[in-house]
Chain A
Amino acid sequence: MEPTALWKRILILLVCGWGILAAVPNLFYAQVERHNDAVAAIAAADGASTPELDAEKAEWPAFLPSALVPLGLDLRGGAHLLAEVQVEDVYKARMDALWPEVRDALRDLRDQVGAVRRAPSPEGVLRVTISNPEGMAAALEAVRGLGSSVVTLTGVGQSTIDVTSEGNDVVVTLSDAEKKATDERTLQQSLEIIRRRVDEAGTREPTIQRQGEDRILIQVPGIGSAQELKELIGQTAKLTFNAVVSRTTDASATPGPRNLLLPSLDEKDIYYIIEESPVVSGDDLVDAQPSFDQNGSPAVSFRFDTTGARKFGDYTAANIGAPFAIVLDNQVISAPVIQSHIPGGSGIITGSFTVEDSTRLAVLLRAGALPAEMTFLEERTIGPELGADSVQAGRMAGIVGLAAVALYMLVSYGWFGMMANVALAVNLFLLVAVLSTIGATLTLPGIAGIVLTMGMAVDANVLIYERIREELRNKLSPPAAVQEGFSRAFSAIMDSNITGLLTALIMYWIGSGPVRGFAVTMGIGIITSMFTAVYVTRFIIEIWMGWKRPKTITV
């Protein structure tokens, strides 16, 4: 029997050692979790720690790996929501905001187009009737002039609006390219708002991800119910622009009548005293984008609607040189100084921003309120007790299943069965190690996948052993029989595992929720079991045969 090359042996041992080391934290789940939480809490507080945190941190030695398999909602309890963002809401808002601009543009052409009035139209469409149809061409041109060009990967140069004529009406809609870009923005904005609000609630490991074109999946472990989660993300963030009275480091300063003392979002220990009644509120904000000021430093440009623009214009004209505060949810995001009168309802916030800062601020500004309604297509609440019961059941099934399969292998193959069982145990460790390292969430079907993998993992061993038995019957010497058994069984092992892997891949690709969790453990289990059944078992048998040099073997 050809011995495995030394480097291969070392590699096999290294992989097994890593697997065991990386899987071990999961045996002390509660301890390691407290340790990880404490480490995260200390890091969040910039290294500041408390004796309690230190004690929790000390529960698990820092030199050992501390990655855990994250538990899915069905095991930990929590809430799951699948929301669909009504992107069309934004089309309507955009068209409504466009109407005053169209009216003003056409009013300038009054002698050509006559009287202008808005005609009833479905949501997301702006229909304007002009009394003098001869002026249609001029009207179309003027309205088209209001569009700007969409900048996306696919639609460079296209206008943001489609303008057509129907009889006496000018019909304006968002162009397809702009709709696409708008949808994208709406989704990003919604994601950002939801993330912010869920994070503020301080729950552990929430999953907030986009699904498909216009859906958002939100999974929050540890929250009481889906209803609670809906209330949490449904809250409107309040954005206001207020006059600043003074800036202070005193957290207990008295703000004075009709003033408020608010903390700064970014600057530590800085507080602002601002006037309670806002100059303009976020309801008046139409858009905010990261941009650059005339010196080329990152800034945020924003735009108000007409009412906001008027109020903001009047205020800035009267208060040049004074700071004003941008307040979001009772925190001062930034307090720039008004450089000049800002008449057009659009302005630019400068400061010592990095590009990341300005992008974030723009998002926050836009993130005032959810840009569009959300409908909930799917919601699930799982109580923590049910999750704990499931973990308990899964653990029990795992232990009993492992013992039963191991016993069966032992009585079927004797000493060789024992060696296969060692490989099976290594396989379990490796599987858990991989799950922890890549952070794949473990669900209840996932546990079933692990238990099933144990049953199927020994298949490769069975194939090999049955083959060795046959070769022994053909009067081959023990080393030759083992060699033949391994090499001849290999093609069957490959074929059967590749087809298994194929189904796991398809399950992962198409499936959602429980199906995915199952597919992940099954797929990884197939890979690790191939490794352990073929390489680890072979390694153990080689060592044993090299040591004992048996004249006869019984498989």
Chain B
Amino acid sequence: MAWRLKLVPEHTSIDFFRWQWLTFGGSFFLMAATVVIVAVMGLNFGIDFRGGTTIRTESTTPVDVGAYRAALETGGFEDASISEVFDPSFRADQHVAMVRIAPVDGAESVTEEVITQVEAALKSVDPAITFPSVESVGPKVSSELIWQAVMAVVLACTGIMAYVWMRFEWQFALGTVVALLHDVLVTVGVFSLFQLKFDLTIVAALLTILGYSVNDTVVIFDRLRENLAKYKTMPLRDMMNLTANETLSRTIMTATTTLIALTVLIIFGGDVIRGFVFAMLFGVFIGTYSTLYVAKNIVLILGVDRGDKPKKTKGGEFANIDA
């Protein structure tokens, strides 16, 4: 036998329901906590969702946030937020900062004067400063983008639920969607708790998390369906444990390859997409967790109809597409 790296032993018999009150209950606690955190702390919306202007500055001299702020305050931009950006890929004399300016009240579109004034103010602090990117979004578009983002997540969940329902049974569909909502909610909660910038790309990351998590969940359900047909009398709970253990090696393997790719991205991918990659990195963790500890519990609670008509219990009417 040649040597193989195995993160999971060949045979495992973990009882995934043993600490149910902690794992499953904990998940619900986290979801509830997210709602509270978001309600209290809110989200640190980027300009995509809030409107306003972000200016990326770059200079060969170190960023002096205090001086930048002072210059902007004299220019009349008291509520400008300034943050320095660090990245391992920057050159030694590359100093980057992001300046964010709130939208002008009542203005539907972007005003050029604001940008010019801000740039002039910053130039007075550091004449060598350049502006590699300047982005402005008017409040009219930003409110539409919020709506689009919410719609996207809702539609994706509905679509997935419909598909799982079609291929499996409604209990599975519900279990999948609860697991998905759990992943999305908790990720949003982390963004709220640490006040990380939440913009359009984060929504793309959330949708990817949905895609990843459902992938993971469906693989287990697929095997569960197979086992349901194979072992007619085994209690559902034992069967679920058997299924999860059988597929555990694959679950961990896929999570690891994805995490490897994402870790590389977060290190080398540059600061522009760091938030996006972080969301996905976190999402893959939580998605794997929810696959093992949330989705199945819902199905177990709801129960599966295992009547004597195997054809029916095996799945919905499209369950036989597989070769």
Q: A and B: real partners?
A: yes
Interface residues of A (CB under 8 A from B): 74, 82, 84, 225-227, 230, 375-383, 385-386, 389-390, 392-394, 396-397, 400-401, 404-405, 408-409, 411-414, 444-445, 447-448, 451-452, 454-456, 458-459, 462-463, 466, 469-470, 473, 487-488, 490-492, 494-500, 502-504, 506-507, 510-515, 518-519, 522, 554
Closest partner residue, chain B, to A552 (CB atom): B1
User: Can you identify 29 A-B contacts, CB atoms within 8 angstroms?
Assistant: A84-B109, A227-B115, A375-B138, A377-B140, A379-B135, A380-B134, A383-B132, A385-B58, A389-B270, A390-B272, A394-B269, A401-B261, A408-B256, A414-B4, A448-B277, A454-B261, A455-B259, A455-B261, A456-B212, A459-B215, A462-B250, A466-B249, A491-B322, A495-B219, A499-B214, A503-B156, A503-B214, A512-B145, A518-B208
Selected from A376, A392, A405, A513, the residue in CB contact (under 8 A) with B257 is: A405
B163, A512: Cβ atoms closer than 8 Å: no
Complex Cα spacing A383 to B129, Å: 13
Q: Do the beta carbons of A377 and B138 come within 8 Å of each other?
A: yes
B159–A506 contact, CB under 8 A?
A: yes
Report A157 CB to chain B, min CB distance, Å.
35
B123-145 interface (Cβ within 8 A of A): 130-138, 140-141, 145
Contacts of B137 in A (CB 8 A): 377-378
Given known contacts A393-B89, A404-B260, A510-B155, A492 and B223 CB-to-CB distance under 8 angstroms = yes
Which residues of A have CB within 8 Å of B140?
84, 377
Measured CA separation A518–B115 after assembly (Å): 29
B270 near A390: Cβ-Cβ < 8 Å: yes
**B148 CB contacts on chain A under 8 angstroms:** 510-512
- Known contacts A375-B109, A500-B214, A512-B148, then 10 further A-B pairs from the complex at CB < 8 Å, ordered by chain A residue: A84-B109, A377-B138, A380-B136, A451-B269, A463-B219, A491-B322, A492-B223, A503-B208, A511-B204, A515-B203
- B39 contacts chain A at the CB level, 8 A cutoff: no
Tell me the smallest distance from the CB of B31 to a CB of chain A, in Å: 21
Contact flags (1/0) for B26-50 with A, using CB distance below 8 Å? 0000000000000000000000000
Asked if B110 and A376 sit within 8 Å, CB to CB, the answer is yes
A470 CA to B58 CA, complexed, in Å? 56
Residues of B within 8 A of A488 (CB): 226
Residues 253 to 283 of chain B near chain A (Cβ within 8 Å): 253-254, 256-262, 264-265, 267-270, 272-273, 276-277, 280
> Is B201 close to A, CB under 8 A?
yes
Residues in B217-262 with C-beta less than 8 Å from chain A: 218-219, 222-223, 226, 246-247, 249-250, 253-254, 256-262
**Tally of A-B Cβ pairs under 8 angstroms:** 247
> How many whole Å from B80's CB to the nearest CB in chain A?
18
User: B6 contacts which of A386, A408, A412 (Cβ < 8 Å)?
Assistant: A412
Q: How far is the CA of A215 from the CA of B256 in the complex (A)?
A: 44
State which of B5, B134, B145, B167 has its C-beta within 8 Å of the C-beta of A495.
Answer: B167
Q: Which 4 A-B pairs have the closest CB atoms?
A: A491-B322, A455-B261, A393-B270, A383-B132
Q: Is B105 an interface residue (CB 8 A)?
A: no
Does more than half of chain A's interface fall in helix, strand or loop, or is it mixed? helix
Given A382-B132, A510-B155, do A518 and B268 touch, yes or no (CB 8 Å)? no
User: Is the pair A491, B265 in contact by a Cβ cutoff of 8 Å?
Assistant: no
CB-based contact B264/A378 at 8 Å: no
Q: Which residue of A lies closest to B223 (CB)?
A: A492
Q: B211 contacts A397, CB within 8 Å?
A: no
With A412-B5, A458-B257, A462-B254 known to touch, is A386 a contact of B264 (CB < 8 Å)?
Answer: no
Cβ contact within 8 Å between A413 and B4 = yes
- What is the CA–CA distance of A445 and B280 in the complex, to the nearest angstrom? 12
Cross-chain contact B219 with A496 (CB below 8 angstroms): yes
Beyond A499-B218, A510-B155, whether A396 also contacts B211 by CB under 8 A is no
B269's nearest neighbour on chain A, judged by CB, is A397
Query: Closest A-chain residue to B136, C-beta based?
Result: A379
Given contacts A456-B258, A502-B163, A507-B204, contact A376 B151 (CB under 8 A): no
From B164, B260, B273, B322, give the contact of A490 (CB < 8 A): B322
**Contact between chains at B215 and A405 (CB < 8 Å):** no
Residues of A within 8 A of B56 (CB): 386
User: Known: A401-B265, A412-B4. Is A74-B272 also a contact (CB below 8 A)?
Assistant: yes
Bound-complex Cα distance A396 to B222 (A): 37
In the assembly, what is the distance between CA of A412 and CA of B6, in Å? 6
By the criterion CB–CB under 8 Å, are A500 and B138 in contact? no
- B112 close to chain A: CB less than 8 A: yes
Chain B residues with CB under 8 Å of A512's CB are: 145, 148, 200
From A379, A452, A513, give the contact of B280 (CB < 8 A). Answer: A452
Does B321 count as interface, using CB distance less than 8 angstroms?
Answer: yes
Residues in A neighbouring B265, C-beta threshold 8 A:
397, 401, 448, 451-452
- Mark interface residues in B90-120 (1 if CB within 8 Å of A CB, else 0): 0000000000000000001110100100000
Determine how close the nearest CB of chain A comes to the CB of B120; give it in whole angstroms.
Answer: 14
Chain B residue, CB-CB nearest to A80: B135
Chain A residues near B201: list those with CB within 8 A.
445, 514-515, 518
Contact for B276 among A386, A411, A448, A496, CB less than 8 A: A448
For A514, list chain B residues within 8 Å (CB): 200-201, 204
A455-B258 contact, Cβ under 8 Å, with A397-B268, A511-B200, A515-B200: yes
Bound-complex Cα distance A507 to B153 (A): 9
CA distance A462 to B262 in the complex (A): 18
With A412-B253, A456-B258, A462-B250 given, is the CB distance from A500 to B108 under 8 Å? Answer: no
Closest to B55 in A: A381
Give bound CA distance, A514 to B141, whole Å.
Answer: 15
Contact partners of A409 in chain B: CB under 8 A = 257
Chain B CB count within 10 A is highest, among A376, A389, A394, A470, for: A389
A452 to B167, CA, bound (A): 26
User: Are B136 and A506 in contact, CB atoms less than 8 angstroms apart?
Assistant: no
Q: Which residues on the A side are within 8 Å of B269 (C-beta)? A: 393-394, 397, 447-448, 451
User: Nearest chain B CB to A211's CB is how many angstroms away?
Assistant: 10
Cβ 8 A contact of B258, one of A444, A448, A452: A452
The interface residues of chain A lying within 8 Å CB-to-CB of B301 are none
Asked if A473 and B214 sit within 8 Å, CB to CB, the answer is no
Q: Which residues of B contact A456 (CB under 8 A)?
A: 212, 215, 254, 257-258, 261
Distance, CA A504 to CA B159, complexed state (A): 11
Give the complex CA separation of A554 and B2 in angstroms. 7
Contact (Cβ within 8 A) A377 B5? no
Chain B residues contacting A498 (CB-CB under 8 Å) are 163
**Separation of A134 and B293 alpha carbons in the complex (Å):** 82
Residues of B within 8 A of A459 (CB): 215, 254, 257-258
- Nearest neighbor of B260 in chain A, beta-carbon distance: A404
Q: Which residues of A contact B261 (CB under 8 A)?
A: 401, 404-405, 451-452, 454-456
Most central of A226, A396, A413, A503 by chain B CB within 10 Å: A503
